[in-house]
């Protein structure tokens, strides 16, 4: 679907034109080094090194001598370290190299690769894109594997539900697993009841597209057990508690948790981290029909906990409950789940910052450090136990919704009921969408949190 991440990079610097990244401190010294015609042109246009400003410079023969790119004020703590991603959109076709690089050449190169993403399944863009020479000292293979994982997630999220239902999501999972030599299995339709995944079946029973639970395993069994779980609701109408039309417009992205899990899985397997990786994806469509599950229904979950349905639009936590219970049975060292779970998370932190929930302080401290270094923002919210009473039910062990307050926290608390044995558990309530374009982050599907997590896992398991 999207172009290969490696195609964003030029193989050789021999014919590449220079990009001078300048701020208010080095602008004058760089200016003095410019060819005469280029310097005169920059002076004539009044170029200033404001953040994101650029100027393509001519040479004496009327060709292109290079490009100036402004970084703004030196040492600005609020500067966007992915700003160099803007270069991918503004540079003319051809090969380019940093003659004067940004402070963090690695993040600049990654931002360029992330900006090169195009979703071309339904509309082709024939325009040739610029390519960047990876600076010396930057691991081009690492940049490519991260960008490829993110592109995979973006492709899946951007694909509309008519072309990405549960079966198609399973096919994408199988394709990734085959690429890396992982073993896949799935449980489909009414077999979910036979195999004790009643909540997955309940959510998906109203759709003609059969629900399923897909999983694969990779790596040596002797390595630490790492399990990723991703919410794969391929479209969410809200069920009988139907969403308004405005809230349904982006519901093709409700499988963004599955997409993020697969993106991270690709990075882990491509880097050959020393883990025994398990990926579990419950894939369903939450539809409306005569056999759709109803408010007030009560189901016994895989773990044995009975769940009263307070709202059919809180379906993601139901499919995750059975998936987490399955994952937990293996007692993994680390279990991570990704889900586009609550609107409350967006109200609290907006579309750019996913809340993270864990009781493992050491895990969070390490993740927060990598989140800052990778500029992949996360914010910890508490698993506040006094709010557990909001999930109370008079007729079942728990309700699937917790009232009108702290929706992201009560959703996380609901999931925590199904995790007993994992040494560490991390829950991420992601948005999986960029509502507007920014450098390195094009509008559309996004793999929030996976870059920070990959950095953490690389540190632990490489």
Is residue 239 within 8 A of residue 312, CB to CB? The reply is yes
106, 131, 209, 317: which is the annotated catalytic residue?
317
Question: In which residue are the tokens 């560490």 written?
Answer: 424
DSSP state of 219: S
* Alpha carbons 439 and 6: distance in angstroms, whole number: 18
CA distances (Å), origin 438, targets 59, 76, 109: 31, 18, 15
Q: Does 17 qualify as catalytic in the annotation?
A: no
DSSP notation for 283-349:
EEEE--STTS--TT-EEE-TTS-EEE-S-TT--HHHHHHHHHHHHHHT--SEEEEEE---HHHHHHH
CA angle in degrees (0–180, nearest 5) for 175-176-180: 115
31, 39, 174, 243: which is the annotated catalytic residue?
243
CA distances (Å), origin 133, targets 13, 51, 92, 371, 442: 6, 22, 15, 26, 21
Please report how many Cα atoms fall inside a 13 Å half-sphere around the Cα of residue 46, on the Cβ side.
0
- Residue 453, both tokens: 């997590």
C-alpha radius of gyration, the chain, whole number:
24
Q: Does 243 qualify as catalytic in the annotation?
A: yes
168 burial (CB, 10 Å; 0-12 / 13-18 / 19+) is middle
* Alpha carbons 361 and 221: distance in angstroms, whole number: 27
Give me the phi and psi of 67, to 5 degrees please: -140, 135
- Residue 343, both tokens: 């609107």
The catalytic site residues sit at: 243, 317
């Amino acid at each position: 679907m999207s172009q290969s991440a490696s195609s964003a990079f030029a193989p050789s610097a021999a014919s590449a034109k220079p990009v001078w990244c300048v701020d208010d401190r080095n602008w004058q010294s760089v200016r003095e080094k410019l060819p005469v015609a280029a310097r005169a042109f920059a002076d004539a246009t009044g170029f200033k090194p404001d953040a994101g400003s650029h100027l393509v410079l001519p040479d004496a023969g009327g060709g292109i001598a290079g490009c100036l790119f402004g970084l703004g004020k030196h040492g600005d703590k609020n500067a966007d370290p992915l700003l160099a991603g803007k270069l991918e959109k503004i540079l003319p076709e051809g090969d380019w190299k940093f003659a004067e690089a940004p402070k963090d050449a690695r993040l600049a190169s990654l931002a360029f690769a992330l900006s090169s993403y195009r979703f071309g399944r339904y509309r082709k863009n024939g325009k040739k894109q610029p390519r960047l020479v990876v600076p010396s000292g930057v691991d081009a293979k690492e940049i490519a594997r991260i960008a490829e994982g993110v592109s995979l997630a973006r492709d899946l999220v951007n694909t509309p539900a008519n072309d990405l239902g549960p079966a198609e999501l399973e096919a994408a999972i199988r394709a990734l697993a085959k690429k890396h030599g992982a073993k896949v299995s799935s449980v489909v339709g009414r077999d979910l009841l036979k195999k004790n995944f009643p909540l997955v079946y309940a959510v998906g029973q109203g759709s003609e597209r059969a629900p399923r639970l897909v999983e694969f395993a990779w790596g040596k069994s002797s390595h630490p057990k790492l399990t990723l779980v991703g919410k794969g609701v391929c479209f969410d109408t809200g069920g009988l508690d139907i969403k308004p039309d405005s809230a349904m417009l982006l519901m093709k992205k409700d499988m963004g948790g599955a997409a993020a899990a697969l993106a991270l899985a690709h990075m882990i397997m491509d880097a050959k981290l020393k883990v025994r990786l398990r990926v579990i994806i419950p894939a369903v469509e939450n539809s409306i029909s005569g056999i759709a599950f109803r408010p007030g229904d009560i189901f016994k979950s895989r773990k044995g906990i009975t769940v009263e349905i307070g709202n059919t639009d809180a379906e993601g936590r139901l499919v995750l409950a059975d998936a987490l219970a399955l994952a937990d049975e293996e007692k993994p060292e680390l279990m991570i789940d990704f889900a586009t779970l609550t609107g409350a998370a967006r109200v609290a932190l907006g579309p750019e910052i996913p809340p993270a929930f864990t009781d493992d302080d050491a895990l969070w401290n390490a993740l927060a450090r990598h989140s800052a270094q990778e500029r992949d923002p996360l914010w910890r919210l508490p698993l506040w136990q006094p709010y557990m009473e909001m999930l109370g039910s008079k007729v079942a062990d728990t309700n699937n919704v917790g009232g009108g307050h702290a929706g992201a926290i009560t959703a996380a608390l609901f999931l925590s009921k199904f995790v007993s044995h994992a040494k560490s558990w991390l829950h991420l309530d992601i948005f999986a969408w960029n509502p507007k374009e920014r450098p390195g982050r094009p509008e559309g599907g996004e793999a929030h949190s996976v870059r920070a997590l990959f950095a953490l896992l690389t540190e632990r398991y490489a």
